[in-house]
Amino acid sequence: MPLVVQKYGGSSVHDAAAIKRVAARIVATKKAGNDVVVAVSAMGDTTDELIDLANAVTSAPHPREMDILLTAGERISMAILAMAIRELGVGAQSFTGPQAGVITTAHHGSARIIDVAPSRVQKAVADGDVAIVAGFQGVNVDNQDVTTLGRGGSDTTAVALAAALGADVCEIYTDVDGVFSADPRIVPAARKLDRVSYEEMLDFAASGAKVLMPRCVEYARRYNVPIHVRSSFSYLEGTWVVADQEEGDTMEEPIIAGVASDRSEAKITVIGVPDVPGSAARLFEAVANSGANIDMIVQNVSATATGVTDISFTLPTGSVDAAHLAIEEDRDAIGYEKLVVDDTIGKISLIGAGMKSSSGVSAKFFAALRDSGINIEMISTSDIRISVVTRSEALDDAVRAVHTAFGLDSSDGEAVVYGGTGR
């Protein structure tokens, strides 16, 4: 019997009526002759509300307690969804991440899955039931504490289950009809992509398109799990995220797949760093030791007269305080003059595998920004992506301008956003 893993995001299960609708969809899949395993997210904005609650009692929530708190969100939806399925006359059993055998590293808040031992899920399926697994959570391999996988982590739970169970497909149900050429909340003229490669999707996700969590795409690529991203509010065919086309495949690939944007990063500029061998190493050693993950780096050319230079880099806003402190503590050794933090930046990225063999893409990108009066602060590139840092308030305009400049605007109507608050 085919095995389908389905994941339902928060906006697909935001209230009792939505959960009943999802239950009916799961039952229909089961009755069509499939075994079904479901990963489910917390209802609506529950996770954000639980974070707000923790922040209302402390400025530094204890990571272990935070994870126990947040995993409660997915436990609510898994149990209610199992009840709703039973109500329709089909057996269903819900499992927490630890019960489902999702074994992770010890990193509270951003644990990585290291193994999935889903024997209880397999037993439930063998018994003819639908297995519902709480997304976004696992168990610390060292001490059996509950862990969470990071925001959007239910996507990764679903793909990891699909890989461990050898599922035929992993369906990610969300509040838009698939992966679009830009976030439909920002660009109503965005077009749905029928098919996108793991590589492009990885860059999309890492550049801020939160429709899939980056780690889930990495996982899918490693285990070759086909992902079908689609809406739980419609029956339209969505987007297939699959391996790149074979060599010699005659289908022509578009040069640009789409545009992504991200407001979750900040910029730190270190002014007056001595322009001598070892300065950058010293600075970034301090940053690395603070646990921050750096994205872009720019070093200015130094004026020969001064012998000093400025170095700017971007990092997640959540890592700024620790990185700031680490650089200040190492001030004498690095020998810089001043440190400036800017948390009002935005990053826009253009993604497309066809960029590798096409010229003039950057020129067209920068011209579109110029024509909209948007200033470029930093640039970084890979072979299938160009990213630019701008002012945060200019970001949405930049996305629309670039989308239009590359001819990506769809002529067949606006993209539908069915639900969710976009939070």
Smallest CA-to-CA distance from 228 within 29, 20, 400 is with: 29
Measured from the CB atom, the residue of 211 and 327 that comes closer to ligand ADP is 211
Instruction: Provide the minimum distance between the beta carbon of 49 and ligand ASP in the complex, in angstroms, as a whole number.
Output: 10
Among 21, 75, 86, 185, indicate the residue that binds ligand ADP (CB under 6 A).
185
Measured from the CB atom, the residue of 212 and 401 that comes closer to Mg ion is 212
User: How many angstroms separate the CA atoms of 346 and 394, rounded?
Assistant: 8
Measured from the CB atom, the residue of 75 and 86 that comes closer to ligand ASP is 75
Q: Does 42 bind ligand ASP (CB under 6 A)?
A: yes
Q: Which of residues 137-166 bind ligand ADP (CB under 6 A)?
A: 152
- Cβ neighbors of 59 (< 8 A, separation 6 or more) are none
Instruction: Provide the minimum distance between the beta carbon of 269 and ligand ADP in the complex, in angstroms, as a whole number.
Output: 29
Which sign does the torsion angle of CA 337, 343, 346, 349 carry? Answer: positive
Instruction: Provide the minimum distance between the beta carbon of 322 and ligand ADP in the complex, in angstroms, as a whole number.
Output: 26
Measured from the CB atom, the residue of 45 and 145 that comes closer to ligand ADP is 45
Among 6, 34, 41, 96, indicate the residue that binds ligand ASP (CB under 6 A).
41
240 near 178, Cβ under 8 Å? no
CA atoms within 13 A on the CB side of 356: 7
User: How many angstroms separate the CA atoms of 373 and 394, rounded?
Assistant: 9
Question: How crowded is residue 315: how many other Cβ atoms within 10 Å of its Cβ?
Answer: 20
Which parts of this chain interact with Mg ion (CB under 5 A)? Answer: 9, 152
Q: Does 220 bind ligand ASP (CB under 6 A)?
A: no
Two tokens, residue 204: 């999309």
Stretch that binds ligand ASP, among 23-31, 150-158, 168-176, 345-353 (CB under 6 A): 150-158
Q: Does 136 bind ligand ASP (CB under 6 A)?
A: yes
Q: Does 377 bind ligand ADP (CB under 6 A)?
A: no
Q: Which of residues 255-284 bind ligand ADP (CB under 6 A)?
A: 258
Q: Is 296 left (phi over 0), alpha (psi -120 to 50) or beta?
A: beta
Two tokens, residue 266: 């900040």
User: How many angstroms separate the CA atoms of 139 and 70, rounded?
Assistant: 14
Partner in contact with 140, chosen from ligand ADP, ligand ASP, Mg ion, none, beta carbon below 5 to 8 Å by kind: none
Q: Does 200 bind ligand ADP (CB under 6 A)?
A: no
User: How many angstroms separate the CA atoms of 94 and 87, rounded?
Assistant: 14
- CA distances (Å), origin 177, targets 36, 249, 358: 21, 27, 29
Tokens 């890979």 found at: 382
Stretch that binds ligand ASP, among 145-153, 197-205, 234-242, 406-414 (CB under 6 A): 145-153
Q: Does 10 bind ligand ADP (CB under 6 A)?
A: yes
Instruction: Provide the minimum distance between the beta carbon of 208 and ligand ADP in the complex, in angstroms, as a whole number.
Output: 7
- CA distances (Å), origin 288, targets 7, 23, 185, 254, 393: 34, 45, 35, 38, 29
Stretch that binds ligand ASP, among 19-27, 40-48, 112-120, 381-389 (CB under 6 A): 40-48
Measured from the CB atom, the residue of 118 and 208 that comes closer to ligand ADP is 208
Binding site residues, ligand ASP, CB under 6 A: 9-10, 41-42, 47, 73, 135-136, 151-155
